[in-house]
Amino acid sequence: MDSLRIQGSGPLRGSVPISGAKNAALPILCAALLADGEHCFRNVPALRDVRTMGRLLETMGLSFSMEKNTVDIVGRPVGEPYAPYELVKQMRASVLVLGPLVARYGRAKVSLPGGCAIGARPIDQHLKGLEAMGARVELSAGYVNVEVPKGRLEGAEIVLDFPTVTGTENLMSAAVLAKGRTTLVNAAREPEVEELGRLLNKMGARVEGAGTDVIVIEGVEALEPVDHAVIPDRIEAGTYMAAAAATRGDVLLEGVTFDHLEALAAKLRAAGVVVEREGEGVRVAASGELRGTNVTTLPHPGFPTDMQAQFMVLMCTATGRSAITETIFENRFMHVPELNRMGAIIDINGRTATVEGVPKLQGASVMATDLRASASLVIAGLIAEGTTNVLRVYHIDRGYERIEDKLSPLGANIVRVSE
């Protein structure tokens, strides 16, 4: 297993290109199940999770090829609408094939994703919505079996208990080929949901309100293949913004959508970080003392849970106290014990971690099991005295394209060590 060896190395300076959004690309690739023919997806990040999704689509009979950041998929009728445990266990986002398969074939057998390091992460809302649309759902032997007795889903009004991101995406994808109108109430408003709505409409669907909390979908008879470029990754961008601020550097992020970063920008500015739009990019700069700042994660447009760990590292060397509350996942503080081993002072009480700022962190060998927690440990290594080894780098490779190749040109002293 690879690790990253990092020497604390002063302020990051320069510019860094931001890749396409992982959490937009994954549901978009699944949408290729909805229409036969040649699809082309551009600005797709070259990530482990994207390759895993490609393998899953290939097992169902689609052809998948990726050249740099362009993915070509030839959609064709799948033999079996089946997603095996072997692939789903590697990536819970595999559950995103469920909506398209049931929409297109009236049935699907998909392994339950199971929990993961950050929480139980059930899919009850996904299944409740499909049942409302006329599907029969049965759980057995770790699989969810979905059948539509009438053969075709029917539009319904669905009120989600929680604005689940992939739940909204699954149900939107299911509804585009259903008979009649579907209304999703309390839908997730993340930019990646809005992007999927845009993509589905380009394929001939009739989706209105994606990106708001009420989405209305008029079912159509068939969809067409599509050529589409994926939006930038706001979480990758946020991670580099936190790194620039934590190292007291001055970095220009190229190719971001600033509107997707408002909640993060507000908290960075509250802490004393300079955050400025610059053309198609954003400039982040900090120097000297930063202020301890409280954060509570919330569904979009609130502060994103996927930025909680990275913001916490920034607070570790701010002046004063910060209260960081995680409301989305029940176990998303796994970076805390690792940061405390590096000299941070963080105390967890239920869903709130209280950070007391310290002047410096000390390098150590650290490990996390959550993609974003791992990224936060890389940031910690950049600002620590001495050497930090971040183990199990495959977690990072799931969500960050060539993280060491993007940080080195900014002045970071970071190398990948293959075990």
| C-beta closer to ligand EPZ: residue 123 or 264 | 123
CB-based contact 34:100 (threshold 8 Å)? yes
Among the listed ranges 10-18, 99-107, 164-172, 216-224, the one in contact with ligand EPZ (CB under 6 A) is: 164-172
Task: Give the ranges where 133-255 is alpha helix by DSSP (H).
Answer: 165-175, 191-202, 234-246
Should residue 395 be labelled a site residue for ligand EPZ when binding is judged by CB under 6 A?
A: no
CB-based contact 388:364 (threshold 8 Å)? yes
Q: How far is the CB of 37 from ligand EPZ (least distance, A)?
A: 25
CB-based contact 35:76 (threshold 8 Å)? no
Q: Per the residue annotation, which of 30, 40, 116, 316 is the catalytic one?
A: 116
Tokens 């699954």 belong to residue: 170
Should residue 61 be labelled a site residue for ligand EPZ when binding is judged by CB under 6 A?
A: no
Question: How many angstroms separate the CA atoms of 204 and 359, rounded?
Answer: 56
Should residue 238 be labelled a site residue for ligand EPZ when binding is judged by CB under 6 A?
A: no
Q: How far is the CB of 324 from ligand EPZ (least distance, A)?
A: 15
By CB neighbour count within 10 A (0-12 exposed, 13-18 middle, 19+ buried), where does 105 fall? middle
Q: How far is CA 366 from CA 82, 334, 338, 343, in A?
A: 38, 11, 6, 12
Should residue 386 be labelled a site residue for ligand EPZ when binding is judged by CB under 6 A?
A: no
| C-beta closer to ligand EPZ: residue 22 or 48 | 22
Tokens 């339950």 belong to residue: 112
Question: How big is the site for ligand EPZ, counted in residues (CB under 6 A)?
Answer: 24
Among the listed ranges 58-66, 122-130, 136-144, 378-386, the one in contact with ligand EPZ (CB under 6 A) is: 122-130
Question: How many angstroms separate the CA atoms of 144 and 272, rounded?
Answer: 48
Should residue 121 be labelled a site residue for ligand EPZ when binding is judged by CB under 6 A?
A: yes
Q: How far is the CB of 380 from ligand EPZ (least distance, A)?
A: 18
Q: Which amino acid, one-letter code, is at 1?
A: M
Which of 93, 133, 217, 307: binder of ligand EPZ (CB under 6 A)? 93
CB-based contact 60:79 (threshold 8 Å)? yes
| C-beta closer to ligand EPZ: residue 209 or 386 | 209
Look at residues 317, 335, 339 and name the one whose alpha carbon lies nearest to residue 272: 317
Which of 148, 309, 328, 361: binder of ligand EPZ (CB under 6 A)? 328
Should residue 23 be labelled a site residue for ligand EPZ when binding is judged by CB under 6 A?
A: yes
CB-based contact 400:239 (threshold 8 Å)? yes
* H helix or E strand, kind and range, residue 23: helix 22-30
Among the listed ranges 33-41, 160-168, 224-232, 288-296, the one in contact with ligand EPZ (CB under 6 A) is: 160-168
Question: How many angstroms separate the CA atoms of 90 and 197, rounded?
Answer: 26
User: Is there a catalytic annotation at residue 30?
Assistant: no
Which of 194, 236, 306, 326: binder of ligand EPZ (CB under 6 A)? 306
How are the residues of the chain apportioned to helix, strand and coil, as percentages rounded to the nearest 5?
35, 30, 35
Instruction: Give the tokens for residue 252.
Output: 């220009």
Q: How far is the CB of 78 from ligand EPZ (least distance, A)?
A: 21
Q: How far is the CB of 165 from ligand EPZ (least distance, A)?
A: 4
| C-beta closer to ligand EPZ: residue 172 or 364 | 172
DSSP 8-state secondary structure symbol assigned to residue 287: -
Should residue 371 be labelled a site residue for ligand EPZ when binding is judged by CB under 6 A?
A: yes
| C-beta closer to ligand EPZ: residue 305 or 317 | 305
Question: How many angstroms separate the CA atoms of 238 and 245, rounded?
Answer: 11
Among the listed ranges 12-20, 22-30, 148-156, 248-256, the one in contact with ligand EPZ (CB under 6 A) is: 22-30
Residues near ligand EPZ (CB under 6 A) are 22-23, 26, 93, 119-126, 162, 164-167, 305-306, 328-329, 371-372, 399
Residues belonging to the active site: 116
